[in-house]
């Protein structure tokens, strides 16, 4: 599966098929879980600042809601596709299931590039997206959240539009809202911190002191930055970070053997996680090729950007020193690369386990909104730690007991729970 022919939904289905065979699922259950239950395509007309009208393509896919209302983010990306959204909604179903929260999986997106849009134009896209789907989503049906290139402000515009349409207050309609407007403390850190909670447990199992480890990270957005923050607090050292450069339209890696200074590098970063090349060089960073992050001599690799980043054509570039791969991104590793990683004995923490901190904290936000009572940050992060650690231990125990790959163990737990919910409801 090379990058040109990459289809994330086909990859998600391949991963499912493998575990469906292990679980010996019946044909009806396979057909139900292999494809989304509902899929929406719509057009969003927007009056641009120059007076012209531009039509943006929007999506919402609800993969499965047997265990509860669907849950999933909304991406703004110029290369968004329906196959990507379908794959992400599928992975959201397994993600909610593996951490055992009562939600299903969904995902949304708009084909657009916020880099080239004014705030007013972005607001119109947000409100237009909600208008097209307002009666097919909601706090008891499907709860959106931020994702790639969307943030709390986007969520607040969407919430306002939804409440205007329905004429009522629905603070639990959407998560990832600004704190003070129904958002949860700790939500910003949640996904990145969750990744590191699972890394901490993996290091414990491998009897490795975090303070004696190094890491290389792909991405420098929200997930990557907070993963670096907590990993550094544990004593680890990040020596390389890779990210996309909007001006050059290509990726670069930024290396510093003495270790990445998070606040220093943030000062050279735009709001989309892009690092300024000139500023980084002045700060003493070596500028390398965009794929150099994967070949660094480190103990831990954290792909925390986009899907399809560890592939058949580059998996053998992984240094023999690497002991753990923690997937902060969704679908960063293709099935062909997985085979090599498993053969090489690298401890894999799969995406829908490693990065489940975000949806877990979104669930916490929804609970707080429904109660109209909000927890302190320490309480949120403590609950997140407990949930992530428990999920990791469940997956790790099954992997050890059955002598199987961590990804397979996570899928077995997640798919089995969803399949049982479908059976209990009488769907299959």
User: Residue 189 in 3-state DSSP?
Assistant: helix
Out of 151, 182, 213, a domain closes at: 182
Same-domain pairing of 298 and 174: no
Mean pLDDT value across the chain:
96
Same-domain pairing of 158 and 201: no
* CA 37 and chain centroid, separation: 21
Same-domain pairing of 382 and 327: yes
Query: Closest Cα to residue 328, out of 303, 309, 308?
Result: 303
Instruction: Work out the pLDDT band at 270, boundaries 50, 70, 90.
Output: confident
* Residue 173 CB partners (closer than 8 Å, separation 6+): 137, 138, 139, 143, 144, 159, 162, 163
d(CA 246, CA 312): 26
Q: What are phi and psi of 250, to 5 degrees?
A: -160, 165
Which tokens is 76 given? 């703004």
pLDDT one-digit tens code per residue, 286-338: 999 999 999 999 999 999 998 899 999 999 999 999 999 999 999 999 999 99
d(CA 39, CA 36): 7
User: Residue 246 in 3-state DSSP?
Assistant: coil
Q: Which of 71, 86, 95, 107 is catalytic?
A: 107
Which tokens is 63 given? 């993969």
Q: How many structural domains are present in the chain? A: 2
Tell me the percentage of the chain whose pLDDT exceeds 90.
95
Q: Is 0.85 topped by the overall pTM?
A: yes
Please indicate, yes or no, if residue 25 is contained in any of the structural domains: no
Contact of 183 with 365, CB cutoff 8 Å: yes
d(CA 361, CA 177): 12
Kindly state the helix (H) or strand (E) to which residue 231 belongs, with its residue range: helix 222-233
Contact of 131 with 159, CB cutoff 8 Å: no
Out of 182, 213, 248, a domain closes at: 182
pLDDT one-digit tens code per residue, 366-407: 999 999 999 999 999 999 999 999 999 999 999 999 999 999
Same-domain pairing of 159 and 189: no
Residue 3 has pLDDT above 60, yes or no: no
Residue 162 has pLDDT above 70, yes or no: yes
Same-domain pairing of 305 and 369: yes
Instruction: Work out the pLDDT band at 4, boundaries 50, 70, 90.
Output: low
Instruction: Work out the pLDDT band at 178, boundaries 50, 70, 90.
Output: very high
Instruction: Work out the pLDDT band at 159, boundaries 50, 70, 90.
Output: very high
Please indicate, yes or no, if residue 412 is contained in any of the structural domains: yes
Query: Closest Cα to residue 198, out of 355, 331, 92?
Result: 355
First to last CA, the chain: 32
Residue 263, domain CATH = 3.40.50.720
Task: Establish whether 423 is a catalytic residue.
Answer: no
Same-domain pairing of 242 and 390: yes
pLDDT one-digit tens code per residue, 248-260: 889 999 999 999 9
Same-domain pairing of 338 and 225: yes
What is the span of the domain harbouring residue 415? 184-428
Which tokens is 88 given? 């992400």
Residue 14, Cβ density class (10 Å: 0-12 exposed, 13-18 middle, ≥19 buried): middle
DSSP string across 354-408: HTTHHHHHHHHHHHHHHHT----HHHHHHHHHHHHHHHHHHHHHHHHHHT--HHH
Residue carrying the six token digits 């040109």: 4
* Residue 344 CB partners (closer than 8 Å, separation 6+): 318, 320
User: Who wins on pLDDT, 1 or 178?
Assistant: 178
């Amino acid at each position: 599966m090379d990058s040109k022919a990459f289809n994330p939904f086909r990859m998600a289905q391949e991963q499912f098929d493998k575990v469906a065979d292990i679980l010996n699922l019946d044909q009806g259950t396979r057909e139900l879980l292999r494809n989304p239950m509902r899929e929406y395509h719509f057009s969003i007309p927007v009056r641009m600042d120059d007076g012209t009208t531009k039509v943006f393509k929007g999506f919402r896919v609800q993969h499965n809601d047997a265990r509860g209302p669907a849950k999933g983010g909304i991406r703004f990306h110029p290369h968004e596709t329906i196959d990507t959204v379908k794959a992400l909604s599928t992975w959201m179903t397994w993600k909610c299931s593996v951490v055992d929260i009562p939600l299903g999986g969904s995902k949304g997106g708009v084909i657009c590039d916020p880099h080239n849009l004014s705030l007013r134009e972005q607001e119109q896209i947000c409100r237009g997206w909600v208008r097209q789907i307002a009666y097919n989503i909601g706090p008891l049906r499907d709860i959106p959240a931020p994702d790639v290139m969307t943030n709390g402000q986007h969520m607040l515009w969407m919430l306002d539009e939804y409440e205007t349409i329905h004429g009522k207050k629905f603070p639990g309609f959407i998560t990832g809202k600004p704190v003070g407007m129904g958002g949860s403390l700790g939500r910003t850190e949640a996904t990145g911190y969750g990744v590191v909670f699972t890394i901490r447990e993996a290091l414990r199992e491998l009897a490795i002191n975090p303070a004696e480890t190094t890491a290389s990270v792909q991405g420098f957005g929200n997930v990557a930055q907070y993963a670096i923050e907590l990993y550094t607090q544990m004593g680890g050292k990040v020596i390389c970070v890779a990210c996309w450069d909007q001006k050059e339209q290509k990726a670069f890696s930024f290396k510093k053997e003495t270790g990445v200074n998070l606040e220093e590098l943030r000062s050279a970063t735009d709001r989309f996680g892009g690092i300024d090349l000139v500023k980084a060089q002045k700060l003493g960073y070596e500028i390398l090729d965009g794929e150099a992050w994967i070949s660094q001599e480190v103990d831990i690799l954290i792909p925390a950007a986009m899907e399809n980043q560890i592939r058949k054509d580059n998996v053998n570039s992984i240094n023999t020193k690497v002991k753990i791969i923690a997937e902060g991104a969704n679908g960063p590793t293709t099935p062909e690369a997985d085979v090599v990683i498993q053969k090489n004995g690298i401890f894999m923490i799969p995406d829908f386990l490693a990065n489940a901190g975000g949806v877990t904290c979104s669930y916490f936000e929804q609970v707080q909104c429904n109660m109209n009572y909000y927890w302190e940050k320490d309480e949120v992060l403590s609950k997140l730690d407990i949930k992530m650690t428990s999920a990791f231990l469940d997956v790790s125990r099954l992997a050890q007991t059955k002598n199987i790959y961590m990804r397979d163990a996570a899928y077995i737990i997640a798919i089995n729970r969803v399949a049982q919910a479908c059976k209990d409801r009488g769907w299959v």
